[in-house]
Chains A and B, each alone.
Chain A
Amino acid sequence: MNAIYLDHAATTPLRAEVREAMIPLLDGRFGNPSSSHRFGREARAALEEARERAADALGASRHEIVFTCAGTEADNLAVLGRWRARGDGPVVCSAVEHKAVLKAAARAHAEGAPLIVLGVDGEGRVDPAALDDVLRGGPSVVSVLWGNNEVGTLQPVQEIAERCTGAGVIFHSDAVQAFGKVRVRVDETPCDLLSLSAHKFGGPKGIGLLFVRDGVALEPLSHGGGQEHGLRPGTESVAMAAGLATAIEIAAAAQESECSRLGALRDRLERALVLAVPGLVVNAGGAPRLPHILNVSIPAVDQEALLVALDLEGVAVSVASACQSGAAEPSHVLTAMGRILEHGAAIRLSVGWTSTESEIDHAAAVIPAIAGRVGART
């Protein structure tokens, strides 16, 4: 069997329909959407059509969608942009946020924002009741991710959003992993800011979006022309926006069926690994999880050696977010959950729209054998 890709949480293959939607805009309709001539108008029409389609998929209005270059930029614009617009009140986020939120919050802290980091339980969940005290302090923004990118834990976003809204506090959620896997709609969940990234659901890399609810003030991170309501100046990438729009429509339409299909594949892999790998622990196994993510700890196995051995066998998985140099660092998520092993490996396996049952069965056979071999040597 060829290489098996079990790292869809890192990125997903581009869908053919998305590619088809992008090509005409790369080839022919090359105009600058800010130009008033016909070339510009054509491009602007395509851009605004993409914005409308993205808004529809999320239950938002067209003018509430800001295209960004990635989920990271959307997170930064939400957290840092919110702090800079408000200028006071603590920045609040959970300990298991994506680095984009954690580092943006740290930056706001360096600029004078009090920083409150919400702890999580052993499954990686924030306790919404613990928010009440925090909300009385008048935060500038509360940011809690929808579903965790490393272990998959789903946060009680509905309850958190309602508490924030009830207290008149701006709430941001990073839904980069969650969108297309669970139901994410801003007309059902009262969040003020929401980040997405196209390449996590079959779209191209290099484009994401931030939903900004009408009336929420943000300070842009960069300055220039007035594009994207002045929040994200710079000539828009129309082809990318069209790619995002096509991908988001497909993902939204297929969400329910994909949720059960991916969940079944994940559970099949999980059952097989639990049976075949001695001492294996499923991280966040006791919490509601995203259907596509499986994070397991294997005691007494060298993590780096395991990752290399799996790669050499053609099974692509990931460990804790790679640091700048590429060497594995202890995961801040597992650390916050109190699940770091002194000697052992934690790997994330994630399925996606191209995953098949036969791939899962092959991986389920290969991984225990390799873990056994690596474990015996380390």
Chain B
Amino acid sequence: MKRETVLVAMSGGVDSSVAAALLVEQGHAVIGVTMKTFCYSGTPAPSRTCCGLEGIADARRVADRLGIPHYVFDMESAFTRDVVTDFVEEYAAGRTPNPCVRCNSNTKIPDLLRRGLAFGAETIATGHYARIRRERDGVRLLRGRDPAKDQSYFLWGVPAPVAERLRFPVGELTKPEVRDLARKLGLSTAEKPESQEICFVPDGDYAGFLAGRLGVDHAALRPGRIVRSDGTDVGAHDGFARYTVGQRRRLGGGFAEPLYVLEIRPSTREVVVGAQAELAADAVEVGELNWMSAPPAEGEAVHLQYRYRTPAAPARVEALDREAIRLRFDAPQRAVTPGQSGVVYRGDEMVGGGRIRRSGRLAGEPVSSASPQKSRIGG
């Protein structure tokens, strides 16, 4: 294998620790970097998530153990601009964003690559469970070998030219194998638990975070009505930002059948609810597209993954242009949530994706003209 100078993004978690260790073992010149993405000095309880100060200290310990240099890059302003602001705006607009996607695509990977080139690092490695396969006409990004940990879903926004410079050393391993390796190598992060929450909302209290950013009086956090899809008023809610499509909690009780959130209408602050059957979507429209390899053709049978923990659903490409794609599911899907990532797969290959604009019983018009909002990609 060619010896490369690799910049490895070390969060302080076990996956990126092992990624760094594997690269060292392969004989590469490895430089560890931890990104300081969010300032925790304002949070009352010190963060225990991977991006906090503890994460930085853990990453340093691992780098010391591996005998590689380690640096901390302050990416707070770019992270706030590209990730946090978007997160807040999406919730305010009644959608449910994937901030980790935004972080990977806009901040973490391209920024590291740009900085790395400045000191001679040609490639970037992360601890993602995904694989890169080099082919004559470019690279393919594949699902990680461990189906329980595959993270290719979070990588759809990475620009294709950047992907050529990416390395995912743990993509061929399963999580238990990664932990075993970490133990064998004596890495201090071997037993570290998975980070579950979004790094900048370590306590999981999104509503509190949004209130801090938007103000408690913002429309998304003010009380509003809960209605059925036929307009029947069934109760009150305490801010639509607390709801996401498919959610059952916080709707009160006493209904003849379980009710689920079907839709959020920011203009009227209504949360529309209905029976489980009403959650079903025949089709989905995905905007802000980014293609890792050749986009699918109209009529092509692919799989669409519309949620991280939901298996990809068979679907057929119905309409496609530069801005958006509409897919029709082979069988109706439940809770296809606007704002989440819609990621297209051909088998194990992650072809590309975008953000879900809307879903339901979409008619067969061309996609872009029908889109309710302008694409904000690159914005």
Closest CB-CB distance, A169 to chain B, in whole Å? 34
Partner of A302, one of B36, B53, B69, B118: B118
Is A325's CB under 8 angstroms from B117's CB? no
Contact call A325/B56, Cβ cutoff below 8 A: yes
Say yes or no for A311: interface residue by CB 8 A criterion. Answer: yes
Given known contacts A325-B72, A326-B71, A327-B36, A377 and B114 CB-to-CB distance under 8 angstroms: yes
Kindly report which residue of chain B lies nearest to residue A301, judged by CB atoms: B118
For window 94-121 of B, CB contacts with A under 8 Å fall at: 114-115, 117-120
Contact (Cβ within 8 A) A302 B115: yes
In the complex, what residues of A have CB within 8 A of residue B60's CB? 326
A305 to B7, CA, bound (A): 12
Cβ of B74 and Cβ of A328 under 8 Å apart? yes
Is the CB of A312 closer than 8 A to any CB of chain B? yes
Alpha-carbon gap, A305 to B73, bound state (A): 9
Interface pair B74/A327, CB less than 8 Å apart: yes
Q: Is the CB of B117 within 8 A of A377?
A: yes
Please report the C-alpha to C-alpha distance between residue A330 and residue B71 in the assembled complex, in whole angstroms: 17
> In the docked arrangement, what's the CA distance between A374 and B115, Å?
8
Q: How far is the CA of A38 from the CA of B74 in the complex (A)?
A: 56
A308 touches B53 (CB 8 A): no
Interface flag for B264 (CB, 8 Å): no
* B241 is an interface residue with CB less than 8 A from chain A: no
Q: A324 contacts which chain B residues (CB < 8 A)?
A: 53
Is A304 interfacial (CB-CB < 8 Å)?
yes
CB–CB B114/A378 < 8 A: yes
Task: Report the nearest A residue to B71, measured CB to CB.
Answer: A308
Chain B window 39-60, contacts with chain A (Cβ cutoff 8 Å), 1 for yes, 0 for no: 0000000000000010010001
Contact of A304 among B53, B56, B71, B76 (CB under 8 A): B71
A304 and B36 form a contact (CB under 8 A): no
Q: Size range of the interface on B?
A: 10 to 19
Among A309, A311, A312, A325, contact of B53 (Cβ-Cβ < 8 Å):
A325
Instruction: Kindly provide the distance from the CB of A304 to the nearest chain B CB, expressed in whole angstroms.
Output: 5
Q: Report which of A312, A327, A373 forms a contact with B73, defined as CB distance below 8 A.
A: A327
With contacts A304-B73, A327-B72, A327-B73 taken as known, whether A312 is within 8 angstroms of B31 at the C-beta atoms is yes
Nearest A residue to B74, CB-CB: A327
A326 pairs with B56, CB closer than 8 A: yes
User: B265 → chain A, closest Cβ, in Å?
Assistant: 42
Residues of B within 8 A of A357 (CB): none
Q: Does A312 lie within 8 Å of B120, measured CB to CB?
A: yes
Chain B residues in 8 Å Cβ range of A326:
56, 60, 71-72
Q: How far is the CA of A329 from the CA of B72 in the complex (A)?
A: 11
B76 to chain A: closest residue by CB: A327
B72:A308 contact, CB within 8 angstroms:
no
Contact with B along A298-338 (1 / 0, CB 8 A): 00001011011101100000000000111111000000000
B72 near A377: Cβ-Cβ < 8 Å = no
Measured in the bound complex, the distance between the Cα atoms of B76 and A373 in whole Å is 24
Which residues of A are found within 8 Å of B117, using beta-carbon distances?
A: 377
- B-side contacts of A325, CB under 8 Å: 36, 53, 56, 72
Whether A309 lies near B119 (C-beta < 8 A) is yes
Q: Which residue of A lies closest to B29 (CB)?
A: A312
Residue of B nearest to A327 (CB): B74
Chain A 341-378, CB-CB to B under 8 Å as 1, else 0, gives 00000000000000000000000000000000110011
**Contact B115–A304 (Cβ < 8 Å):** yes
| Docked pose: A24 CA to B291 CA in angstroms | 70
What are the interface flags for B60-104 relative to A under an 8 Å C-beta threshold, 1 for contact and 0 otherwise? 100000000101111010000000000000000000000000000
CB distance from A330 to the nearest CB of B (A): 10
CB neighbours of B71 from chain A (8 A):
304, 307-308, 311, 326
Contact of B118 among A305, A311, A328, A329 (CB under 8 A): A305
The closest CB in chain A to the CB of B35 belongs to A327
Measured between alpha carbons, how far is A312 from B53 in the docked complex, in Å? 24
Q: Beyond A326-B72, A327-B72, A327-B73, is A309–B118 a contact (Cβ under 8 Å)?
A: yes
Do the beta carbons of B115 and A311 come within 8 Å of each other?
A: no
Determine which residue in A307, A309, A312 has the highest number of CB atoms from chain B within 10 A of its CB, and name it: A312
Which B residues lie within 8 Å of A374 (CB)?
Answer: 118-119
Minimum CB distance partner of B7 in chain A: A308
Shortest A252–chain B CB gap in Å is 37
Contact status A312-B69, CB under 8 Å: yes
Which residue of chain A has its CB nearest to the CB of B5? A312
Query: Residues of B contacting A302 with CB < 8 Å?
Result: 115, 118
| Distance, CA A328 to CA B72, complexed state (A) | 8
Residue of A nearest to B60 (CB): A326
CB neighbours of B36 from chain A (8 A): 325, 327
Q: Please, which residues of chain A bring their CB within 8 A of the CB of B118?
A: 302, 305, 309, 373-374, 377-378
Q: In the complex, what's the smallest C-beta–C-beta distance from A249 to chain B, in angstroms?
A: 36
Q: Name the CB-closest residue of A to B72.
A: A326
Tell me how far the C-beta of B50 lies from the nearest C-beta in chain A, rounded to whole angstroms.
13
- CB-CB contacts of B323-359 with A at 8 A, as 1s and 0s? 0000000000000000000000000000000000000
Q: Can you name the residue of chain B whose Cβ is closest to the Cβ of A374?
A: B118
A residues 150-197 in Cβ contact with B at 8 Å: none
Given A312-B31, A327-B36, A378-B114, do A304 and B74 touch, yes or no (CB 8 Å)? yes
24 cross-chain CB contacts under 8 A: A302-B115, A304-B73, A305-B115, A307-B71, A308-B115, A309-B118, A309-B120, A311-B69, A311-B71, A312-B69, A324-B53, A325-B36, A325-B53, A325-B72, A326-B56, A327-B72, A327-B76, A328-B74, A329-B74, A373-B118, A373-B119, A374-B118, A377-B114, A378-B115
Residues of B in contact with A (beta carbons under 8 Å apart):
31, 36, 53, 56, 60, 69, 71-74, 76, 114-115, 117-120
Of all A-B residue pairs in the complex, the 4 with the closest CB atoms, nearest first, are A327-B74, A309-B119, A377-B118, A326-B72
Known: A311-B69, A373-B118. 9 other contacts (CB 8 A): A308-B31, A312-B69, A312-B119, A312-B120, A325-B56, A328-B74, A329-B74, A377-B114, A378-B115
